[in-house]
Amino acid sequence: MKKTKLNLTQLFSLIVITALSEIVISCHTTNTSSADYSGWDTYAGSKDGLRYSSNDQINSGNVSTLKVSWSFCTGDKDTNNRTQIQCNPIMIDGILYGTTARVKLFALNAATGKPKWIYDPALEDSTAKSNPASFFKVSRGVVFWKDDKGDNQRILYSVGSKVYAINVSDGKPIRSFGHNGYFDLTKNLEREEGSYDPYLTNNTPGIIYKDLLIIGMRESESADAAPGTIRAYDVRTGDLRWRFHTIPRPGEKGYETWPDKDAWKKLGAANNWAGMAVDEKRGIVYVPTGSVGGDFYGGVRKGQNLYANSLLALDAATGSYIWHYQTIHHDLWDRDLPANPNLITLHHNGKVIDAVAQITKHGYIFIFDRTNGEPLFPINEVPVPASDLPGEEAWPTQPIPTLPEPFARQKFGPEDITDRTPEAHAEIKERYEKVKYHGLFDPPSKSSSIVFPGFDGGGEWGGAAVDPASGILYVNSSEMPWLLTMIDKIKGDNTTVKGMGQTVYGKYCIACHGPELKGNGSSFPSLVDIQKKYNQEQILSLLSTGKNMMPSFKQIGEKDKKALASFLLNASPKSLGSSAEKGKLNEKPQKYSILDDVPYSMTGYNRFQDKEGYPGIKPPWGTLNAVDLNSGKLLWKVPLGEYPELTARGIPITGTECYGGPLVTKGGIVFIAATKDARMHGYDKITGKLIWQADLPAPGYATPATYVIDGKQYVVIACGGGKIGSKSGDQYIAFALPEK
């Protein structure tokens, strides 16, 4: 899409339209809070998670003149390993804090981009020193805290499972905090070590309530995931202050809903990885959760699976339960709640209601009264198909809100098959007709099913922005179908080393790398001919440390690791003892894992796209949407992003898959990067018209931040790329109006 200049008549009309819109908005202003939205001191802009700024120096009338004001190069990208920067930075007292591709923490002059200090946690980590690639982690933001007097100030941020406290003045760890400057999320899980996959990390920052850091974590997607307990830590000492068990224990509310009364002893996840929001006045923290471990087979976790896939309202001071709502029962589609909720005051049925809105991967918005969890719009329990997998008991209904209108398409029918070219249509049609299930809640099957909206949404971790004056929510959506196919778990001949390795592969690796080891894109690379890149020692090291999207597999016994390496290398492993050298495995049985009770695997995370790599559905493939939360009506929908090569062929703008969220301003603009075409966009928030865009050095798979220093407004975006085949980047770019 080409940049356009407005003539005087168009500019005057736009100003008049915007002014009239603001007058209309002011007549039914819904914001009753005294929140200050002029800064950007918290992930998502504010603790209510609105991604909104009251700054209006940059507005719909002058945004077309925005220029790059400064750029900061982190200098630590790794294109081969697809590093990313997903960080939404924060600004405190003129200093911008954020993270780099290798999760270094930086402090910059927010007006010039000049570094003040940079902290590199890898310098204190023995694993990072021996295996630098293991430190290519993802951080989406950091947390700032100060005491009432402002004398004690610190940045809290996560690197893998460690949460550091860093002095804002010099960028050094505060050694009195936790264990020599950090606490470890793998500790205090109240479960016997070895009974779960120890993989834990924290991508999205926690949230502050008074002197508490409330935090979740990302975990394994398999049935042996670690417990997804929500925890709060003392920001001064790093001590644990409270826990909330998302798989309830005896005596806790919700325990009675689990058919298996020992579920809490052996199941995990139901974790918060997407962020939170806090109502500081009421002292309530709102926590969205993901599914119980074992994303696509629930035969080992029968029932609704509380408190998975739920929006939780907890007492922020104690972690005590207040209310919850479950958006997916017995999740079989990886429908984690993907982003922090938005706290907003709305006009509804003649009343002013403090509400909480939660977007979902399948394109719905659930809205509740913030105090008691009552839905603002009716939610119907709709019958859904039963499973044809022996052992599976899909829940018979799923909740569908009558309003707001969904922001993502809810079906992929034959009439929706791509018509980009006759060849692409024929190819996808043939594959489509071989798939048994095509509906929103059709269960996983050996006959395959299409997941649409896809595993990554619909809505995703970039979240939604909400204008508190109008109650209008802005959210981007990916429109990519994915193919889900279940197979019997692969088991090798366990009397041989390679056979045992094949069994281990089927247990831990097949979901990402597939039954034929071919992988799936840059995130899950092919393991075919892996011996050309790694030897046995290097593979064993990777299994212990992890790398990029690959977690560590510390729960696997050493001989099982060597057997897996043997299978991957198609060679007998070394150092297994005399019996192993003869091709036999003489080893005591591994400790019981719930994975042993899971009879199926899925064949990998496969996008349903044509041979040229374009989605198998008609455009748009990525959209930006405006939804009025007061009425529930979808106001507008526009394509977000483009494929320049398709535009050059005369194909209308298609949109692209998008990762990262929007920012909405009082100045009338929705800023968003997020697209594969490596551009930053500005849309008129009233009309949805694209009114500005700029090229970026790499895709901005992150959420922008905005702030004012010395009377000048800046908009900053991290350009880390690295996803969906994009090149990796290492820059933060700040835009501002040119000097007069």
pLDDT in tens, 593-642: 898 899 999 998 999 999 999 999 999 999 999 999 999 999 999 999 99
Task: Tell me if 461 sits within 8 A of 274, measured CB to CB.
Answer: yes
Q: CA 195 to CA 192: how far, in whole Å?
A: 6
Peptide bond into 404 cis (omega under 30): yes
Angle CA(260)–CA(264)–CA(266) in degrees, nearest 5? 85
Pairing outcome for strands 663-665 and 52-53: parallel
| pLDDT value of residue 450 | 97
**Among candidate residues 226, 298, 196, the one with its CA nearest the CA of residue 598:** 298
pLDDT > 90? residue 726:
yes
Instruction: Look at residue 19 in the predicted model and tell me its pLDDT.
Output: 47
* Residue matched to tokens 């301003």: 665
Q: Which domains does the chain have, with CATH numbers?
A: 490-597 (1.10.760.10)
Buried-state track 458-486, b at ≥16 Cβ within 10 A, e below 16? bbbbbbbbbbbbbbbbbbbbbbbbbbbbb
CA–CA separation, 174 and 155 (whole Å): 10
Residue 523: pLDDT band with limits 50, 70, 90 = low
Q: What is the mean pLDDT of residues 25-40?
A: 62
Per-residue model confidence (pLDDT) at position 542: 81
Longest dimension (CA), the chain: 86
As a whole-number percent, the residues of the chain with pLDDT over 70 amount to 90
pLDDT, greater one: 13 or 275: 275
Listed residue (289, 302, 389, 401) closest to 337, CA to CA: 289
Is residue 17 pLDDT above 70, yes or no? no
Q: Cα-flanking dihedrals φ and ψ of residue 540, to 5°?
A: -60, -40
Instruction: Give the span between the Cα atoms of 269 and 275, in whole angstroms.
Output: 15
> How far is the C-alpha of 1 from the C-alpha of 652, rounded, in Å?
9
> What is the rounded average pLDDT for all residues in the chain?
90
- Confidence category of residue 549, pLDDT binned at 50, 70, 90: low
Tokens of 693: 């865009």
User: CB of 278 within 8 A of CB of 272?
Assistant: no
pTM exceeds cut of 0.85 = yes
Residue 557 has a pLDDT of 76
Query: What are the pLDDT digits (tens) for 667-690?
Result: 999 999 999 999 999 999 999 999
* CB proximity list for 248: less than 8 A, separation 6 or greater: 254, 255, 258, 264, 306, 307
